[in-house]
Structure 1
Amino acid sequence: MNRSHPKKDFSVEEITELLVQFVQTQNLTEFYKWAKELHPYDLSLIYKKFPEQETKRFLLLFKPDVLADMAEALTLHEQVHLFEQLGPERTLEVMQQMDKSDLIRFMHDLPLQRREELLSNMNLDHSAIIRSVLNYPPETAGRIMTDRYRTLLSHETAKEALRESQAILHIPATSYLYVTDDEGKLVGVVSYQSLAQADDNTKVEELMTRRVIHATVDMDQEEAAQLLQRYEFMALPVVDENRRLCGVIQMDDVIDIIMDEASEDIAKMGGGSKDIDFDTKPLVAVRRRLPWLILLLFIGLISGSIVDFFEDTLNQVVALAFFMPMIAGMTGNTGTQSLAVVVRGLIGRKLDKATVLALIGREIKVGTMIGLVCGLLITVIAYFWQGDWLLGAIIGVSLFFTLVIGTLTGTCIPLLLSRFKVDPAVASGPLITTLNDILSLFIYFGIATRFLDALM
């Protein structure tokens, strides 16, 4: 391997191997030549792959600002481990270099006593900002906003505004600066390009746009993310009840929110918990998942009681048992599909009566067409398998009705939950499947019992 120059096409594993050698041989010149080329995310991967006995020496070679960028690419559990290795003093140095939104996310998950210890030892201004943000409820715009933004005063001239903005190292021509009055209230937004092209003595208030799309500090973070996404902004200002500018939500924070919310919805749709990940301990995972499963267990007993109720029918036509798993499974599957479609469609949309009725109408049509196709198909299969057209027709008709009802169940339950301000993702897949099992078996055996004499 040629070690003379950091090659961009080297894998993380190869670079890790080289850096380990440089640390062990104390070849700091080569170490820094390679390390300066690394993105913080790559550095975080290398940190996780580094031999445990060499990790502390590895971390000592970096300045706090580099470690701060690296820490932001780690998970909570990995951050805790990193700070344990750095020790109290160096941890504080690194934390004070971290982006405040990432640091606040870390602080939120810490035990209260440990959080207070860290905050009390931080720079006073730094800790005051973090404390004020932590006062906002979790999962609100106030919790995820950052103080990395620049403001202009409305009475400033374009020349004065440009001079102030020079403090920002790089401002793309498409960037926007927020305009406030003397009380700090958000009154407008102006593009850097407009300032650069304006006459020196033109007032900022003459150039700014007064209608500013913004979030409030108590707005749900998902709603704020949808605002930013909908208007295709790179940042979204956040104001308090008096319209004072408090912070800005940036696109990278929105990406984190979207991923977190998606993970949460997927977990709920699976009857699980958003707090379970690869690092969760077995007993904790069991405690979070078991309540759902116990609830579904008792609901599922109803399915058993339905089979027991129609025991005579099943004893007289044993072939009905062959198709029970298929009827129940297909109904649960179509319900879960409808649930996924509705939950995804509800993101970023406010429902009105016309939208709800149109969606239900469409799903009835979808369920009917799916039911017809699958019903006819299983009728033919049942006939060739069992040699009985009537049995095939009963199974086909049963499947038709259960698929229509399963589709409606998967559509209506999340819509009802949304109507009552409950997260529709809690209408989880297992719940929909269990309810559809009950309905499908009742319909299946009900139709079979009605035509029992003809089947005998």
Structure 2
Amino acid sequence: MVKLNKDTREEYCNHLLQLLTKEELDQFREDFLQLHPTDQADFYIMLESEDRQKLYAIITAETMADIFQALELSEQKELIIELDERYAAEMINHLYADDAATFLAELDQVEAQAILTAMNTDDADDVKELMAYPPKTAGSIMTKEFISLSSTNTAQEVIEQLRMEAPNAETIYYLYVVDEHEQLVGVVSLRDLITAQSNELVENLMSTRVVSVGSSANQEDVAKLIKKYDFLAAPVVSPNGVLLGIVTVDDVIDVIEDEATEDLGEFTASRGATDVNVSAFTAAKKRAPWIVLLMFFGLITAGVIDQFEETLSQIVLLAAFIPLLMGSAGNAGTQSLAVVVRGLALGTLEKKGLARTLLREFSTGMMIGIICALALLIIIPIFYGSFMLAVIVGISIFCSLSVATVIGATVPLIINKLKIDPAFASGPFITTVNDILGLLIYFTIATSLLEFL
């Protein structure tokens, strides 16, 4: 066999493609299996439908399951259509229960039921159990493939158990100890087990202070717990303490990504439309309500300007600085919004104290306002020849930025107190509110100092 370990991924994929095209299938299979499953998935995506059919014929459903797990959901849906129903069911059998449940939940009920019917009964029951939990809960993302022990086992007996059960477990770094009623009573690390004497009892090795989560816990809370304790997995228990499954760190990474995407959608008023794969119609349907609402808010901005028409008619040059005031206030408010929303998401805001956070944001806005005001006091007289105009704009921007940072920090805090996702306090909403307040401040100050211009 040609040594390919030093080839680039592109060269290796070209090599595999040549083997597949020439139908040197035995050599292709041998070389293909040298790839990491993620690279196998990347190669799979490159193939035409005809070549993929060749691939299905020469690799096992178990290997296909590893490729399947590395694909995006849209790609998984395309793959499942191409597969023979029996082959597809066998492949799903080899998925971890949580991955299988996540995928089948995205199919329509008829398709999902057909696959479940063709699956191994025990595997199908595990998947159905996970699918029965509400979405975004610990129960819905846990896996059933874990290893449980009895406290009366010896270290040597557990090692023998691992030899038999570990190949089918998602992780073996933590081993969970249960009593005769399957209730969680302790946890043993693999390190402690390996370093113990062979006749040492599990009850002498285990820690009884087990950190666990309930099956109904929000997935975001589970992610925070695993992050806090630097766990590789967390046990999930029923209300009476029965060990139901475990949530592993790879699932938590997916949760964090999903939650971050959701927060970004809320933050930008585009929830449900951040996926580039959605159609233009779907994206417009998701994003239009906020845009239309903000458009009506914009009419308030127009009304504010109209109220100060007399001031503008006397000093038309004031209009030149409206975009500057509105943009600066909106940006400052959005920055504060981002700081507070992120702090609430990470749980760091409670540690710092809400009052302290608000004071910090207000002080930050004042300092930025002073810097901007000083800059304008230098620039405006040079370009527009009016120091008093510079004073008006400078004072306005100082006040606007000070207020904008407080608004940007306060709104998500209020929303959070109402038990609503603070990310719902979207950037465009905060920007529009601060635009209105900025204009009111600007024209009020300009009207008061109009006689000095």
TM range (shorter): over 0.9
Where does residue 409 of structure 1 map in the other structure? 407
Q: How far off is 1:157 after superposition? A: 3.0
Match of 2:128 in 1: 131
Query: Where does 1:254-293 land on structure 2 (aligned, <5 Å)?
Result: 254-274=252-272, 276-293=274-291
Matches within 5 A, 1:209-358: 209-274=207-272, 276-349=274-347, 352=350, 355-358=353-356
Alignment length, in residue pairs? Answer: 451
Change (3 A) 1:356 1:310: same
Superposed displacement of residue 351, structure 1: 5.7
Question: Which residue in the other structure is 1:100 paired with?
Answer: 97
Q: Tell me how far 1:158 sits from its aligned partner.
A: 3.1
The residue identity in structure 1 corresponding to 2:99 is D
Write the letter of the residue equivalent to 1:288.
K
Instruction: Provide the C-alpha distance between the structure 1 equivalents of 2:263 and 2:6, rounded to a whole number of angstroms.
Output: 38
Judge which range, 243-252 or 204-213, deviates more: 204-213
In 1, Cα distance between the equivalents of 2:252 and 2:347?
17
| CA-CA distance at 1:254 after TM superposition | 1.0
For 2:264, what is the secondary structure of its paired residue? Answer: helix
Displacement of 1:295 in angstroms is: 1.2
Deviations 1:185-233 (A, max 9, x none): 0001122333344444443222211110111111110110110111011
Match of 2:111? 114
Residue 18 (structure 1) aligned to one of 15, 20, 23: 15
Separation in 2, partners of 1:197, 1:255: 30
Deviation at 1:184, TM superposition (A): 0.5
84-93 vs 197-206, greater mean Cα deviation: 197-206
> What is the rounded CA distance, in whole Å, between the counterparts of 1:89 and 1:373 in structure 2?
69
Quick one: distance in 2 between partners of 1:67 and 1:142? Answer: 26
Unaligned runs of at least 5 residues, structure 2:
none
Amino acid at match of 1:325: P
User: What secondary structure is seen at the aligned counterpart in 1 of 2:245?
Assistant: strand
Inter-partner Cα distance in structure 2 for 1:36 and 1:118: 26
Aligned equivalents of 2:271 and 2:191: distance in 1? 47
Rounded to whole Å, the distance in 2 between the matches of 1:149 and 1:124 is: 18
Cα deviations across residues 229-269 of structure 1 (Å, max 9, x unaligned)?
Answer: 11011111111101110111111111111111111111211
Confirm or deny that 1:151 pairs with 2:148. yes
CA contact (8 A) 2:340 2:349 kept: no
What TM-score do the two structures reach when normalised by structure 2? Answer: 0.95
Aligned to 1:162: 159
8 Å CA contact retained: 2:272, 2:286? no
What's the offset of the Cα at 1:341?
A: 1.1
Secondary structure at the aligned position of 1:5 is classed as: coil
1:278 counterpart SS class: coil
Distance 1:370 1:52, change over 3 A: same
Normalising by the residue count of structure 1, what TM-score does the alignment of the two structures yield?
A: 0.94
Q: 1:55 to 1:199 in 2, by over 3 A?
A: closer
Deviations 1:313-360 (A, max 9, x none): 111111111111111001111111111111111123176597111111
Report the Cα offset of residue 275 of structure 1: 5.2
Which amino acid counterpart does residue 238 of structure 1 have in structure 2? V
Which SS does the other structure have where 2:392 is aligned? helix
Name the SS for the 2:326 alignment partner. Answer: helix
Aligned alpha-carbon RMSD (Å): 2.1
Q: Give yes or no for contact 1:338–1:411 (8 Å, CA) kept in 2.
A: yes
Q: Please show how residues 421-436 of structure 1 align to structure 2 within 5 Å.
A: 421-436=419-434
Shift of 1:302: 0.8
**Counterparts in 2 of 1:32 and 1:115: CA distance versus 1, 3 Å:** closer
Which one of 373, 376, 389 corresponds to residue 375 of structure 1?
Answer: 373
User: Take 2:241 and 2:432, find their aligned partners in 1: how far apart are those partners?
Assistant: 48
What is the distance in 1 between the residues matched to 2:443 and 2:242? 65
**Greater alpha carbon shift after TM alignment, 387-396 vs 92-101:** 92-101
SS at match of 2:164: coil
Q: Secondary structure at the match of 1:347?
A: helix
C-alpha distance in structure 2 between counterparts of 1:6 and 1:200, whole Å = 43
One of 61, 67, 80 as aligned partner of 1:83: 80
For residue 4 of structure 1, report the CA deviation from its aligned partner. Answer: 2.4
Which amino acid counterpart does residue 31 of structure 1 have in structure 2? F
**1:148, 1:308 → 2: CA distance?**
67
CA distance in 2, matches of 1:197, 1:273: 50
**One-letter amino acid of the structure 2 residue matched with residue 187 of structure 1:** V
1:35 to 32, 38, 42: 32
Between 26-35 and 177-186, the greater mean CA deviation after superposition: 26-35
Instruction: Encode CA deviations 1:161-198: one digit per residue, 9 max, x unaligned.
Output: 33323325589xx9331111011000011223333444
1:77 is matched by which residue type in structure 2?
Answer: S
Conserved? CA contact 2:261–2:274, under 8 Å: no
Query: SS in structure 1 opposite 2:346?
Result: coil
